[in-house]
Amino acid sequence: MPNEPTGPRERRRAALKRLSGIGETTATTLIAAIGNGHDFQCGRQFAAWLGLVPGQYSSGGKTRLGRITKAGDAYLRSLLVLGARAVLAAAKNKADPISRWAIALQERRGYWKAVVAMAAKNARLAWAVLAKGEDFKLPA
């Protein structure tokens, strides 16, 4: 087939595009930014590098979580947020576990917090796809 991925980079891009909310542009940008993802120990570390996790302010044993840090690559973060908005908009018509989680989160916490949480989840899944390669299986 002419559209079948041939090299390792094309295979990684095709695997990323299977995730909901990640298209051609986002997949290409992710691969260009982090390659195979081995610079990060886990998906949360990658999401923190992108600035998609809350800032933490701790004192006296009391932990306070603030706004997202917005550190890292603003373009990649914005692509993930746009993809998360698309996932959340389409989730109303779906019954898969991620869509149900996103809708429940939106009802509990509001639209924008659900969008950022979905973007962070997509970042973690993308890291797993890149770092694990062929061994990664999308959660059912």
* Least confident range of 4-8, 27-31, 61-65: 4-8
Predicted pLDDT at 20 = 87
**pLDDT category, 4, cuts 50, 70, 90?**
low
What are the boundaries of each domain within the chain? 8-134
Predicted pLDDT at 107 = 95
98 backbone dihedrals φ, ψ, rounded to 5°:
-70, -40
Count CB-CB contacts under 10 A for residue 33: 15
Name the residue with higher pLDDT: 52 or 1.
Answer: 52
> 57 forms bridges with which residues in the sheet?
64
Residue 70 and residue 27 in contact, taking contact as beta carbons nearer than 8 Å: no
* Least confident range of 23-32, 39-48, 51-60: 51-60
Q: What is the reported pTM? A: 0.85
